[in-house]
Amino acid sequence: MDEAVNTKSKLPYFTDLWNYITAKGMKVILNPGTSTIEEYVSIATTNIIYESDPSTVLSVPSWSGKYPASEFGFMQYGATVEQMRTFVSLAKSKNIGFIYITDATAHFWSSLPPYLAEEAALIASEAPSLPGKPPISLGVFRPSDSLFYLQNANVNGLADVIINYGTKGDYPVVGDWDGNGTDTIGVYRNGTFYLRNSNTPGFADLAFTFGAPGDQPVAGDWDGDGVDTIGVYRNGLFLLRNNNSAGGAHISFVLGNPGDVGIIGDWNGDGLDTTGVFRPSNGVIFLKNVNTTGFADLAYMGWQVTTRIGDWK
């Protein structure tokens, strides 16, 4: 069913259709072409939650990880072979079970793409294709000379990438700022973020003010849309943005104590990054599975970590 909706007001109508169609032994594929609400999972065999060209970021509901990948579909047109590889990997990492990508820029579904065999092989592969997520690999930032040293594999050896970026006193920050599946560098300087969309030296692709001097910068995918955005941690207070731009915090809550160090990760594998703190005074790590005030979901003894992590390639 093309042009399907994703609102609660139409649930009775689509429930009637579900009952009628499934009673005849057929499946129901709803195509709103964008994110939907959780109630539609029970009245569709599959929901097509993305139908667009590569300029549109894939937005996946935060609750989708609770359901089989077969509940969700993805259709993309106007994609080069390189974009196809990136988006197959991204869709698979976001729990999308049905994927179709074509190079067509008009009459999108009337012909097959020249890379169909490779696309099918990538979709069928159990291992995520690059630049998927994982693997995550290590890097370090040296404040004395503003150099990033990035590794594409977690092994001993020289850095695969060395980048001079920022100035003395900057704080490093890394993330996938444009949703292309690759983490890239940035720095935080006295309340201003300077972010690059490639792991190369040069001027910032994004520069904007958020927070205040003395804040600790953080970054993560807070809303599950495939794009990492920034935030700050200030004396027990997290302030998070859902866009890489100046403005007020979209999410703010208290966690930890003054003197704690903010940490970020997807602790429960649901596709959303959430917060935690490391307490240097006693070496304890406190982790939350939702970005709200409250008691930690996990707490355990840790140790101080000074490296940065990311999917550099």
Domain positions in the chain? 8-124, 137-308
Q: What share of the chain has pLDDT > 70, as a percent? A: 93
Would you place residue 66 in the very low, low, confident or very high pLDDT band (cuts 50, 70, 90)? confident
Instruction: Note the pLDDT tens digit of each residue in 183-213.
Output: 999 999 999 999 999 999 999 999 999 999 9
d(CA 286, CA 280): 12
Check residue 57 and give its pLDDT.
80
CB-based contacts of 214, cutoff 8 Å, min separation 6 = 234
Q: What is the pTM of this model?
A: 0.57
Mean pLDDT of 16-22: 92
Neighbouring C-beta atoms of residue 207, cutoff 10 Å: 14
Token digits of residue 124: 């069928």
Check residue 135 and give its pLDDT.
60
Closest C-alpha to 185, from 308, 89, 58, 57: 308
Q: How far lies 164's CA from each of 80, 169, 307, in Å?
A: 32, 13, 17
What's the angle, vertex CA 271, arms to CA 188 and CA 116, rounded to 5? 105
Mean pLDDT of 250-266: 93
Mean pLDDT of 135-140: 80
| Pair 225, 60: CB distance under 8 Å | yes
Would you place residue 174 in the very low, low, confident or very high pLDDT band (cuts 50, 70, 90)? very high
Mean pLDDT of 268-283: 86
Average pLDDT for the chain? 88
